[in-house]
A and B are shown apart, each in its own frame.
Chain A
Amino acid sequence: MIEAYILHLLILICIYAILAMSLNLITGYAGMLNLGHAAFFAIGAYTSTLLVMAGFPFWFAFLAAAGMAALFGVLLSIPALRLRGDFLAIATLGFGEIIRSILLNWTELTRGPLGIPGIPKPELFGFEFGALHWYFVLAFAVTVATYFILRKILAGNFGIVLKAIRESEPVSESLGKNVKLVKIQAFALGACFAGLAGSLFAHYITFIDPSSFTLAETILILLMVTLGGMSSLKGSIAGAIILILLPEPLRFIGLPSAMVGQLRQIIYAGLLLALILKRPKGLFGEKWFKGIVSEG
């Protein structure tokens, strides 16, 4: 029986690891602070849900979720090209809120705040991933694939250009790199994987509503990236593992029932603070060279 609980946590870890890795690509590697990541997560979740509910097969909905999220990634990157730093953060924050508002108010399509209950479990070629362990296999496979695909991409030229842009856009441009195109690609790629995570989330929880995709969700993912370390995929996975598991032992301490909720929150926050103070760069963080090469 206890395996069910552990499997559940492992599935959540997989979903959040994908999210953290995809955000790390945008924020850690390319240095663009993205506060609207939960929107891509939401777009993936809703796209996949609505398509499956409309009778499309899961594999199609799963890929469409990635495609739709990537499309929105490109859309967001257009205004984002002109912005950097704090301004970019505000623009992405706005984007996240816009998507949430649309999901909340376009009730004919999304049922708005009522949410969509009874999302079917995924089925691939006649095999249903209904049981927890099979769902874990699916989520784990997607996570591993995400890790290796991103590692391959980021270890190559693309990754180096991304880091160069992060350190200094003018220098990268002067070396003949197409900064705009690379930024668009980074957003699209990050969004695409967040979309996949959204699809996995929707079919696992089997209920989605806009309240699952708020700014708090983005902050949680960003925290995973920061805690694990910027521009480290392994770090993002570690960040997801820690932040999903950290609240769990607190359930077993046997706190007095009078203030169990509040005490857990306080302990959780305290542990987080301690971790960040101990390792300000994150567990597997890489040093940024900003400050050595000055901005134009």
Chain B
Amino acid sequence: MKGEIAVMGIVLCVLFAGCVQQPEDETIKIGALLPLTGEVMIWGENTKNGMELALEEINKEGINGKEIEIIYEDSQCSPSKTSTSIQKLISVDRVNVVIGEICSSATLAAAPIAESNQVVLISPGSAADSISEAGDFIFRNYPKNMQITESVIEVLDNLGRNRIAIMYVNNDYGISLKENAEKIFAGEIAIAEAHDQKATDFRTTLAKVKEQNVDAVFLATYYTDGALILKQAKELNLDVLFVGPDVFDDPEVVKIAGNAADGIIFSTVKPGAGPAFTEFSSKYKNKYNKEPGFLADFGFDALNVIAEAMRQGNFEGEEIKNFLYDLKDYPGASNTITFDSKGDVANSALVIKTIKNGEIVLYEAD
């Protein structure tokens, strides 16, 4: 018994010792909630790389002579772990700004805690539409699903396709794209089929789609499953127009699908050719020796707009919140950022792209 009590005593002591030790604030602390381990750690890693790159530049000059310090918490894309992590960031580290989470469910769990403590939460990667209503202090510089869907549907309308099929990944992301499409598409949705995020064989679903004789297929998927679908559709001689969201704006798609990727039309936010992105991209390559991965530019921008707020003397949650609502056309790497009244990026400059001969190019209607 004594041994056990001693063990628990030590655990508690370490806990409180950690809490009590609070040096004078020589740095400006910013919290980060990212999935650094687990299934989607690659997104957390990419975002973190983007943030670290931004941090390096910001700290060269500093803000009022102080450096920014990012406190990373591994929230593992889990709602309950995220709630603990943000509670710790707010009450122990006393941050006024938290960047994160990537997963929509985790962001939604963190939102009420941020809101009630008047801490700004800015998500660089959550797309769920319900985040718009999560609170005044909740922002995101990632476009919400509705915007992407609208632009994809517009492409279909312009091409006069009025009988489509939807293949969607069965999670919040896929369902939200599918439901949006059902809401705004004027034509007929002949068939909507779900698949698991880890699925690799889509032949059965594709056979069903083929039977329906549709004009187009909307892929509400990620890039791996989406690319596999393109590849298997070609094998099944399913010759139909594929459209999709921004996830297809990734060279990996061509690597997986080969020439089957040709012809897909998708809507995406990356300006690609924009000067801010080119600059970011070359700095990123210098530092990490690889192309910026998915979300790296969003992490980079999220930290940069916060730093911008602080350079202009806004340090409290309330002040940063007001600054963000007033921000106009900030030239970010991912996008030109203006927040609307819900904290979403207003009219993200979306562009339509396609894949031609294995190259991602801007789409031009013939």
Interface residues of A (CB under 8 A from B): 1-6, 8-9, 12, 104-105, 107, 112-115, 117-118, 201, 205-209, 211-212, 238, 241-242, 245-246, 248-249, 251-253, 257, 260-262, 264-265, 275, 278-279, 283-284
Contact = CB atoms under 8 A, between A and B. Distances in A.
Given A207-B108, A211-B105, A104 B19 contact: no
A4 B78 contact: no
Contacts of B70: 257
B18 A252 contact: yes
Contact of A4 (B36, B90, B108): B90
B7 A209 contact: no
Contact of A264 (B11, B74, B134, B172): B74
Contact of B175 (A5, A112, A205, A238): A112
A6 B92 CA distance: 9
Contacts of A206: 109, 112
B7 A207 contact: no
Task: Name the interface size band of chain B.
Answer: 35 or more
B79 interface: yes
B97 to A, nearest CB: 16
Interface of B is mostly: helix
A211 B39 CA distance: 12
Contacts, number: 129
B72 A242 contact: no
Nearest to A112: B175
Contact of B130 (A2, A12, A113, A117): A117
A211 B7 CA distance: 32
Q: Select the residue from B12, B73, B105, B130 with max chain A CB neighbours within 10 A.
A: B105
Task: State the 5 A-B residue pairs at the shortest beta-carbon distance, nearest first.
Answer: A261-B36, A252-B18, A261-B74, A5-B91, A4-B91
Q: Select the residue from A113, A201, A245, A278 with max chain B CB neighbours within 10 A.
A: A113
B292 to A, nearest CB: 18
Nearest to A271: B11
Interface string B19-41: 10100000000000000110001
Nearest to B131: A117
Given A212-B78, A238-B4, A252-B18, A115 B172 contact: yes
5 contacts: A4-B87, A107-B175, A112-B175, A211-B105, A261-B41
Contact of B170 (A104, A249, A264): A104
Contacts of A248: 15, 18, 88
B84 A9 contact: yes
Contacts of A261: 36-37, 41, 44, 72, 74
Contacts of A245: 11-12, 15
Given A112-B175, A252-B19, A262-B37, A279 B4 contact: yes
B75 to A, nearest CB: 9
